[in-house]
Structure 1
């Protein structure tokens, strides 16, 4: 059975890069959000196995969206992504429950490594 993934990033290029990285038979992209609020709403609606969430987003940043998702589903698997300048926020996201983070610009192998790691933790 395919793992269901929700992508939340306000930049179309990065959403496309993540989709391409996960474009295998193992993963199904169940939605794409462009703001933090939309990410929270889509998480509740789609109930994905994993969400990849950008930190810097309009209307509600990724940290606040992460907190809302974790309040709704404490078992949520969320991987944060951001560029280097938000390093302090990445640490905060991990403390709030994010499973991992991907630093932009990322490669296909960066995305796959973080996603596989998040699902491996589930099996332990």
Structure 2
């Protein structure tokens, strides 16, 4: 069972991810609503896995990945992007994200990504 931090500025997206990740048997230990919040909560909670939205206020997902990588080179991050954000997804992967899922999410794709990144 992994401890997961969910990052998204939309509450309903966090709820959807939390629901899916909990059903996979993992524990959601925290939720962040922007990149800055995610960096702070990562330091505090030390989760095994982070889901990271790309477009958020305060600090975007790509910058948050870079900041978290400075804290922990082995961090496991899954980017969550909307259609048409391929360029930013590439930036995020180069910054250290391990995988990405595209909104709207399917339960199957979330499962596939979480298993791939954790194993």
> With structure 2 as the length reference, what TM-score do the two structures score?
0.96
Q: Does 1:13 align with 2:12?
A: yes
Instruction: Indicate the residue corresponding to 2:71 in structure 1.
Output: 72
Q: Which runs of 4+ in 1 moved over 3 A?
A: none
Shift of 1:68: 0.1
Instruction: Indicate the residue corresponding to 1:33 in structure 2.
Output: 32
> With structure 1 as the length reference, what TM-score do the two structures score?
0.93
What's the RMSD between the two structures over aligned residues?
A: 0.9
Aligned length in residues: 119
Q: Does 1:61 align with 2:47?
A: no
Shift of 1:25: 6.4
Q: Does 1:108 align with 2:103?
A: no
- Which region of structure 1 is more displaced relative to structure 2, 74-83 or 19-28? 19-28
* Cα distance between partner residues in 1 of 2:17 and 2:118: 16
Shift of 1:99: 0.4
* Cα distance between partner residues in 1 of 2:27 and 2:45: 12
Would the aligned equivalents of 2:6 and 2:52 in 1 still touch at CA under 8 Å?
yes
Would the aligned equivalents of 1:77 and 1:98 in 2 still touch at CA under 8 Å?
yes
Would the aligned equivalents of 2:53 and 2:61 in 1 still touch at CA under 8 Å?
yes
* Cα distance between partner residues in 2 of 1:71 and 1:45: 15
Where structure 1 has 5 or more consecutive residues not aligned to the other structure, the ranges are: none
